Amino acid sequence: MDFTAIDQQITALEQCLETTVEVDPNEELLVGVDLGTAYIVVVVLNGKKEPVACAMEFAQVVKDGLVVDYIGATRIVRKLVQELEERLGRPLTHAAIAVPPGTSENDCKTHRYVVEAAELEVTNILDEPTAANAVLGLQNGVIVDIGGGTTGLSVLEDGKVTYVADEATGGTHLTLVISGNYRVSFEEAEDLKKAKDRQKEILPVVRPVVQKMGTIVKDHIEGRDVSAVYLVGGTCCLKDIEKVMEKEIGVPVYKPANPFLVTPLGIALNC
Ligand code: ATP
């Protein structure tokens, strides 16, 4: 698969974490709010669906897709939305959100209330793989989303999600292994894991956990006609994770430029 166009869009979004693209005062803005286990990300696109601003914050207010700290989540979303409004010089009025597949109606409502508390009308509630696929545009294949807490996978057939699974091994587990190996705090290990100049050294340390993630995917796709696996989610930013996963799963594994931003971008595209 040719990722060139997708990578350009994601790289543009990554730049919007630092810089803000000017928008027309009357232009419609599309907003996506991603409430994750490790990060809350808010993405703003212009009327042409191009990234114009993005903000994020580390947060432990969601667990297994459920909001466990409503007040904390509300405070962070409000703060990120205010920051983006100041940067854009415009109020944001509506947003799309996403939840893990199989989230109950009540838990969807809680996600919605968090975003509504930031004075955004929620126009769409997607499931996360559908949001990721709004960017990837797959007809057939498997999207593997490795976030903070879990490795999730979604099988797509004819553009539709036909099977999902989610198991408790994610980026947090990598951080815990690094923390133990280097005898540093969780926070220091988290920084170490993300340091670009340390990634070569980190991969061998966390390889067994990454292999476990590969095994999770392999077990769930066994007996299915799967020709390729596509990686999204923050943990997939780890350099060469795709090589370890490919060896474990035994089918070609692809990852876009910044897997972390795929789902947040897809949410905004569906606003
Ligand atoms: P979940 O999908 O489990 O609800 P989430 O949506 O918060 O969680 P993501 O934001 O996709 O998950 O990913 C968060 C994880 O990605 C964290 O464990 C974080 O440490 C990890 N991560 C982020 N950037 C990098 C990086 N450059 N290298 C390695 N890991 C990273």
259, burial (CB in 10 Å: exposed 0-12, middle 13-18, buried 19+): buried
Per-residue pLDDT of 174-213, as tens digits, reads 999 999 999 999 999 999 999 999 988 999 999 999 999 9
Answer yes or no: is pLDDT of 160 > 90. no
Cα–Cα dist 15/85, whole Å: 17
**ipTM of the complex as predicted:** 0.97
From 260, 262, 263, 267, mutation site for ligand 1 pocket: most ligand atoms within 8 A of C-beta: 260
* Mean pLDDT confidence for 23-51: 94
For ligand 1, mutation pick of 37, 166, 173 (most atoms within 8 Å of CB):
37
| Tens-place pLDDT, residues 48-104 | 999 999 999 999 899 877 899 999 999 999 999 999 999 999 999 999 999 988 888
Q: What's the gap in Å between 38 CA and the centre of ligand 1?
A: 6
Please give the CATH number for the structural domain made up of 4-132+261-269. 3.30.420.40
Q: Do domains 4-132+261-269 and 138-256 have the same CATH topology?
A: yes
Locate the domains of the chain by residue range: 4-132+261-269, 138-256
Per-residue pLDDT of 97-132, as tens digits, reads 999 888 889 999 999 999 999 999 999 999 999 999
Whether ligand 1 lies within 6 angstroms of the CB of 127 is answered as: no
Nearest CA owner, ligand 1 atom 17: 148
Asked if residue 148 has its Cβ within 6 Å of ligand 1, the reply is: yes
Is pLDDT of 148 > 90? no
What is the pLDDT averaged over residues 160-172? 90
Nearest CA to ligand 1 atom 29: 238
Is CATH 3.30.200.20 correct for 138-256?
no
CA–CA distance from 229 to each of 1, 139, 218 (Å)? 11, 12, 10
Which numbered atom of ligand 1 lies nearest the CA of 196?
27
pLDDT value at 264 more than 90 = yes
| 193 Cβ neighbours under 8 A, 6+ residues apart | 171, 174, 175, 178, 202, 206, 238
Compute the distance between CA of residue 209 and CA of residue 193 in angstroms, rounded to an integer. Answer: 13
pLDDT at 3: 85
pTM, two decimals, is 0.93
User: Is the minimum distance from the CB of 29 to ligand 1 under 6 angstroms?
Assistant: no
Q: How many CB atoms lie within 10 A of CB 21?
A: 16
